[in-house]
Amino acid sequence: MLDLNFIIPEIFLTLSILIFVIIGVFIKNSFEIIYKLSLFLIFLLIVIILSNNDEYSKIFNESISIDMFSIYSKILILTSTFFILFISKRYIIDIKNNKFEYPVIVLLSILGMFIMVSSNDLIVFYLGLELQSLALYILASIDRDNIKSSEAGIKYFVLSALSSGLLLYGCSLVYGFAGSTNFETISNNTQAFNVGIIFGMVFILVGLAFKVSVVPFHMWTPDVYQGAPTSVTSFFSVVPKIAGMAIFIKFMYLPFREILDQWQYILVFMSIASMILGAVGAMAQKNIKRLMAYSSIGHMGYALAGIASGTENGFKSTLVYISIYLVMNIGAFGCILLMKRDGKYIEEINELSGISKNHPLISLGFLVILFSLAGIPPLAGFFAKFYIFMSVIESNMFTLAIVGLVTTVISAFYYIRIIKVMYFDDPKKSFERFTDYRIHGPIIISCILLISFFLYPSFLNDIVSKIIIF
Amino acid sequence: MIAHALFFYFFSIIAIVSAIFVIVSRNTVHAVFFLILDFISIACLFIMIGAEFLGMMMLIVYVGAVAVLFLFVVMLMNVTEQKLSWFRGTKKTGHIPVGLIIGTVILLELIVIVGGWRYRDSFSETEFLSFNSEFTNTHMIGNVMYTDFIHLFQISGIILLLAMIGAIVLTYRKREGVKTQSYIKQISREREDSVQLKDVEFDKGVKLDD
């Protein structure tokens, strides 16, 4: 009974989902009410999780661990989901996807991520991952009459199911050679030259790398990002990435910490490759959602660089990076969701030309966010990259740091190209005015956070420095 | 020990060979037949190490449901060359010989596994798995399923719920103008609502306000 106290958020979330499904079935046109209830539920969950007064424990035969790390990831997941649901309401209604299942599926995927980030056992981890990704397949194809959305859903489903299979194979190998599914027991039973475990580790790495879309397992990202409805794309680009990176850190630092020298170079390679591909691939893109896809591949490369350093500072810098990344991405997708002209949402970058004349404030906000994504100094994006490179250099990986710096410069090109299009090209017809300011709020919050971060940059570090995994 | 090894190699060779044939065979129907053979061989392997519950699950879930579903898909897909003769097959790709061969092998396996059941205890002793002959396998799985692994069991249930919701979201379309019977409406209808008494004058029609 005592164990259940620690998973009150999960139980509360599950029961609420069941009640929402019942409400949704019995009340006609219940999108509105379920949507509001979901936002309220997420808010309540944040309160419940924060009110855990530092009691950490491993429960259910040590298969779930509630600790600072999982709580931090859960707060990140909840906050970003809250804002993404908040900004995407109008879009969901406009593309006539206002089914009550939409928020319910989002909540179910959050439940999966909760289970995943607090897992301390291979089976719990896998079930959480499946719950999460099953919800994501449905979300990707939720606009079922749109052929691109269906294509995105099928593509994501097939590829992701394949990667889940590889991951499961890895899990079974690790279980076979380490003799347990518990993360700590695995790390205790791991010797440096146990080929079976290393083999399994590589397969698990493949699966995880697919979920966070780093090179060479990134092929699905641009198509899925472009095909899925923008509201879903904004969810895809932030929330699963947080959960994926969190579980990536957990895997590398808990069960596989004894074989650091085995995975370190794999991660360095994946990190360098995704930084380069994210920078080069985005240049030729004309569609802003595709561009954001490549940008997220690049950003995941930087986040991986922190893990690849293999030190405690390394994974902490990754957590800081992810936190800042989510602020930037929510703002950027808020701006993309504002691109509506003549009743149609547009995604071409050229359509942005000269909007600074008609919408000075929005374009200023977009400018700040893009500069921050590019990593221009006073903004938060710079500090995120700064901490990553600090920890990378601390562990003497100069190649990684140099490649990272070079690709930062290269990737600044396409962010600044958007700014050039917005400010210096001939103005086109203005966008539709949004009167309810639902989207503007999160954009303004994100801009303020990004600008004012340099006043007190140790704010995030103070929180993150308390996190221990071992 | 030798008997154990013999049984093991018998089933695993059939399993591997049929798995290869699943991939190699050009004909989809043959591939599905070999898939079924593969599943059954692996189920036999499970039964041999004393995991009879897993073995039966393999039979019920994979052979019973998945493989038959596959057969349906293959037959409904109308693969061009098999369109006319999906059952008898053309001269080149006869289904009946392959089906007979596979059926014989499956029968052989069943005979072996049923015949070998008497010697089960001597097989189990050779295994590394701790084996308690007081409880059956099913009993022990049931014991941990609802105690140690209750959370996993519940999460699996939620995954199935999500799959259900997802299938409904992606395929259900509300059809307009479907006439369905409403009992409440039928019962709550009063006589006055539906019956009108009119005095009909001679040589004039009745005007009803409909």
3-state helix, strand, coil in chain B (%, to 5): 70, 0, 30
Phi then psi dihedrals of residue B146, to 5 deg: -100, 5
Residue recorded with tokens 């993404």: A84
* Contact in structure between A278 and A407 (CB atoms under 8 Å): yes
pLDDT band at B129 (very low <50, low <70, confident <90, very high): low
Cis peptide bond upstream of A216, omega within 30: yes
Statement to judge: residues B102 and B137 lie in one domain: no
Is residue B68 domain-shared with residue B149, that is, in the same domain?
no
Q: Does residue B69 lie in a domain region? A: yes
Best to test chain B binding among A134, A149, A154, A164 (most B CBs inside 10 Å): A134
Confidence of residue A275 (pLDDT cuts 50, 70, 90): very high
B185 domain residue, yes or no: no
d(C-alpha A321, C-alpha A333), whole Å: 18
A314, A306 contact by CB (below 8 A): yes
pLDDT of residue B126 exceeding 60:
no
Q: CB–CB of A127 and B162 under 8 A? A: no
Asked if B190 and A162 count as a contact pair (C-beta separation under 8 A), the reply is: no
B22 and B110 co-located in one domain:
yes
Contact A139, A103 (CB under 8 A): no
Q: What is the pLDDT of residues A403-451, one digit of tens each?
A: 999 999 999 999 999 999 989 988 888 888 777 778 888 999 999 999 9
More confident residue, A378 or B167: B167
Cα–chain-centroid distance for residue A215? 16
Predicted pLDDT of residue B162? 94
Model confidence at B117, pLDDT cuts 50, 70, 90, reads low
How many structural domains compose chain B?
Answer: 2
Predicted confidence at residue A157, as pLDDT, reads: 93
Same domain for B35 and B84, yes or no, is yes
Q: What is the rounded average pLDDT of the residues B52-67?
A: 83
Regarding whether B125 and B100 lie in a shared domain, the answer is: yes
pLDDT of B70 above 90: no
CB atoms within 10 A of CB A165: 12
Q: Name the residue among A135, A142, A153 with its Cβ closest to that of B162.
A: A135
CA–CA separation, A423 and A421 (whole Å): 6
Name the residue facing A144 among B148, B149, B170 (closest C-beta): B170
Average pLDDT over residues A438-465: 88
- What are the pLDDT digits (tens) for A72-81? 999 999 999 9
Distance (Å) from the alpha carbon of A70 to chain B's nearest alpha carbon: 18
Helix A312-337 and helix A380-394: axis angle, to 10°?
Answer: 160
Task: For Cα atoms A373, A376, A381, give the angle at the middle one, nearest 5 degrees.
Answer: 45
Average pLDDT for B106-115: 79
CA dihedral (B71, B75, B80, B86) positive or negative: positive
Flag if B169 and A142 touch (Cβ within 8 Å).
Answer: yes
pLDDT in tens, A93-133: 988 888 899 999 999 999 999 999 999 999 999 999 999 99
Q: Please check whether residues B95 and B140 belong to one and the same domain.
A: no
Length of chain A: 470
> Which among A199, A134, A127 is positioned nearest to A160, based on CA atoms?
A134
Q: How far is CA B173 from the centre of its chain?
A: 26
Query: Which among B159, B165, B169 has CB closest to A130?
Result: B159
The CATH number of residue B67's host domain is 1.20.120.1200
Q: Tell me the two tokens of residue B115.
A: 């015949």
* Residues 6 or more apart in contact with residue A376 via CB below 8 angstroms: A382, A412
* DSSP one-letter string for A167-197: HHHHHHHHHHHHS-SBHHHHHHT--TT-HHH
Domain annotation covers residue B177: no
State both tokens at A222.
Answer: 């641009």
Whether residue B165 lies within 8 A of chain A, CB to CB, comes out as yes
Residue of A nearest to B155 (CA): A127
For B20-49, the pLDDT digits (tens) are: 998 888 777 788 888 888 988 998 888 877
Residue A406, phi then psi, degrees to nearest 5:
-60, -45
Whether residue B29 sits in one domain with residue B114: yes
Residue with tokens 């950003």: A299
User: End of a domain among B129, B152, B183?
Assistant: B129
pLDDT of residue B178: 82
B148 contact residues in A (CB cutoff 8 A): 60-61
Q: Say whether residue B129 is in contact with chain A using an 8 A CB cutoff.
A: no
Q: What does the block give as tokens for A437?
A: 């300011």
Best CA proximity match to A218, nearest among A207, A228, A209: A209
Q: What does the alpha-carbon distance between residue A398 and residue A271 come to, in Å, rounded to a whole number? A: 13
3-class DSSP state of B100: helix
Residue among A367, A302, A360 at smallest CA distance from A328: A367
Q: Under DSSP, is residue B26 helix (H, G, I), strand (E, B) or coil?
A: coil
| Domain end among B129, B153, B187 | B129
Residue B141 lies in a domain: yes
Is the predicted pLDDT of residue B74 greater than 80, yes or no?
no
Residues A283-298, mean pLDDT to the nearest whole number: 92
Res. B130: pLDDT tops 60: no
pLDDT reading at B50 higher than 80? no
In a domain, B120, yes or no: yes
Instruction: Decide if A115 and B168 are in contact by the 8 Å CB cutoff.
Output: no
- CB B158 to CB A111 under 8 A? yes
Are B47 and B121 members of one domain? yes
What does pLDDT average to over chain A? Answer: 90
- pLDDT tens for A178-229 read 888 999 888 888 876 788 888 999 999 999 999 999 988 999 999 999 999 9
User: CB distance A138–B155 less than 8 Å?
Assistant: no
Give the angle subtended at the CA of A125 by the CAs of A120 and A128, to the nearest 5°: 130
Q: Do B165 and A105 touch (CB under 8 A)?
A: yes
- In this predicted structure, what is the pLDDT of residue A232? 94
B67 shares a domain with B142? no
Sign of CA dihedral A225, A379, A406, A301: negative
Interval A8-36: pLDDT, tens:
899 999 999 999 999 998 988 889 999 99
d(CA A145, CA A137): 15
Q: For B60, phi and psi rounded to 5 degrees?
A: -70, -50
**Least confident among A163-167, A455-459, B86-90:** B86-90
Does any domain span residue B193? no
Q: Tell me, yes or no, whether B145 and B79 share the same domain.
A: no
Mean pLDDT of chain B: 78
Q: Using the beta-carbon criterion (under 8 Å), do B162 and A142 form an inter-chain contact?
A: no
Which of A60, A104, A141 lies nearest to residue B151, judging by beta carbons?
A60
Count CB pairs under 8 A between chains A and B: 55
* pLDDT category of residue A334 using cuts at 50, 70 and 90: very high
Domain of B110, in residue numbers: 2-129
Same domain, B43 and B99: yes
Check CB contact under 8 Å for B155 and A124: yes
Supply the ipTM of this predicted assembly: 0.91
- Say how many C-beta atoms besides its own lie within 10 A of residue A42's C-beta: 24
> Is B208 inside a domain boundary?
no
What is the rounded average pLDDT of the residues A376-394? 91
Q: What angle do CA A66, A69, A71 make, to 5 degrees?
A: 60
Q: What is the 3-state secondary structure (H, E, C) of A45-77?
A: HHHHHHCCCCCCEEECCCCEEECHHHHHHHHHH
Domain membership of residue B207 (yes or no) is: no
Q: Is residue A470 predicted with pLDDT exceeding 70? A: no
Kindly state the percentage of chain A with pLDDT values over 90.
61
- CA–centroid distance for A387 within its chain: 19
Q: What is the pLDDT of residue A274?
A: 94
Report pLDDT for A179. Answer: 86
The pLDDT value given to residue B72: 79
Q: For residues B75 and B38, state if they share a domain.
A: yes
How much is the pLDDT for B121?
Answer: 61
